[in-house]
Amino acid sequence: MAAMSAPAEKPLPHLAPATTAAAKLHVLNLAPIKAKLDGKWPKLSELVHQLFEKSIRDAQGPRDHFVQLDELSYVCTFHGLAFEEASLACAAIAKEVCEKLFGGVESGIAVRALVGELSDQILSRQFGDGAQIDVLLELHGQEILVTNNPAAPPPTVTEIVPGRQEVEWEPLNTITKARTALAPLGLQVGMFPIWDLARKTSSCLYASAYPAGRPGLSSTRRLLGRAAELVPEAEIHLLYTAHAYAHRVRNAHRVCAVGAAVSFETLTHFNWRVRYITALKSLSLSAECPVLLKLEEIPAGTPLGKLAELIGMLSVPDLRFVLQFASHMALPDDINFRIGAAGIGCALPSGCEPGQAAAIMKKLVHAFATQKGFTFVEGLNTTALVDAAKSSGVRFGTGSELGSSWHSAVEPVPHFPLSA
């Protein structure tokens, strides 16, 4: 008798990846209060943590978790809640924290929340440190801002189409999020030109924060001063702004390099460095509009091998590196091996005379002579300093003598090159 053939196996149905609502919550604009309280701040900080964690637990279910990202920032999950329900839960958490901390007093304190739907696979794999979830929510999450001002309008959330797994990325949305995040710190965001000294033109713009009403290329760490814990997140927002603006330039069929800066101090702190590298690796860069990352405020005595190591850790395709030393005193005498930087530079000291400036810039050019790259100087505030830079062989620079043009990052992309 012929053997019976086994019935053909039915193919398993295709299952869409399961998703869960996730959120990032953090307190904004605490720097003035920290400065005012000074030694009493640690106790208030502990109280903020207790309030946040209790409010998060109250809003979560038994399968949910949360993890602290930094001093006053958390990521958390909301299993079983739709996006709109998770958004309301975040708004309730933020409102409770603001009210219990400051009541109805208008102090400018706010809680910012980013809510999105992430795959369970990502959440289970990455939830340990929260850094990858942080990046995904910054790029794709919908924003809620809750203040402790009772007169403020209720929080609103952008609606997500039900069943849609991916949120279409829009460069202007990323730039708007950065502007919103830095505004409570008294900072605005702009794109500032780096000038070609010989041609008096610019085809390179740097994303920078600046004090409200006083535009200028600035160091984020110097702007935030004592609020050091806020610096890495602000630098990541500026990185996202540069990345988004590079896409705007590409979409407009223009040719321009776009840059952002990260402080040496951020990169030498393990947790901050991990968060910054995670943010870098989430970007989609293009050779048509390269991104320049400036490692700024490198202190005197930093081993060149350490800088080469940092560049190696930060390297991603289509990213170029620029080294800015904290002062002319920190400049190396010679860089005698391939360090991986496209350029190096420094800022001139305040009140620098043309003779001193010429000596500084000749040392700068000499130190980078064996490398395939360019030199730049900041603080060219007089005609004599610009002339000294050009005669010394410095290619790029910034300073009041070169003009004060800048762009808001949200206006139409200009035609390049710009004229000084």
Structural domain boundaries in the chain: 19-167, 179-419
More confident residue, 38 or 250: 250
Averaged pLDDT of the chain = 83
| pLDDT reported for residue 162 | 36
Residue whose tokens read 């920190």:
330
Residue whose tokens read 């109805």:
104
Fold classification of 19-167 (topology level): Alpha-Beta Plaits (3.30.70)
**198 falls in which pLDDT band (50, 70, 90)?**
very high
Q: Quick one: tokens of 322?
A: 């620029």
Q: Which of 35-39, 61-65, 144-148, 411-415 has the lowest mean pLDDT?
A: 35-39
| pLDDT reported for residue 403 | 80
Whole-angstrom Cα distance, residue 305 to residue 356? 29
What is the strand order of the sheet 396-398 is part of? 187-193, 204-211, 257-263, 291-298, 319-325, 343-347, 374-378, 396-398, 195-196, 201-202, 418-419
Whole-angstrom Cα distance, residue 342 to residue 372? 7
Beta bridge partners of 116: 22
Residue whose tokens read 């630098």:
235
Instruction: Check: pTM over 0.75? Answer yes or no.
Output: no
| pLDDT reported for residue 360 | 95
| pLDDT reported for residue 177 | 87
Residues with Cβ within 8 Å of residue 176, at least 6 apart in sequence: 410
CA-angle at 177, arms to 176 and 183, nearest 5°: 85
Q: Which of 16-20, 40-44, 355-359, 389-393 has the lowest mean pLDDT?
A: 16-20
How many CB atoms are closer than 10 A to CB 36? 9
pLDDT single digits (tens) 253-295: 999 999 999 999 999 988 788 788 888 888 888 888 889 999 9
- For residue 328, CA distances in Å to 264, 367, 378, 383, 404 come to 16, 12, 11, 20, 24
| pLDDT reported for residue 246 | 94
Backbone angles phi, psi at 184, to 5 degrees: -65, -15
| pLDDT reported for residue 363 | 93
Whole-angstrom Cα distance, residue 143 to residue 83? 12
Q: What CATH superfamily is the domain 179-419? A: EAL domain (3.20.20.450)
**346 falls in which pLDDT band (50, 70, 90)?**
very high
CA-angle at 366, arms to 360 and 371, nearest 5°: 130
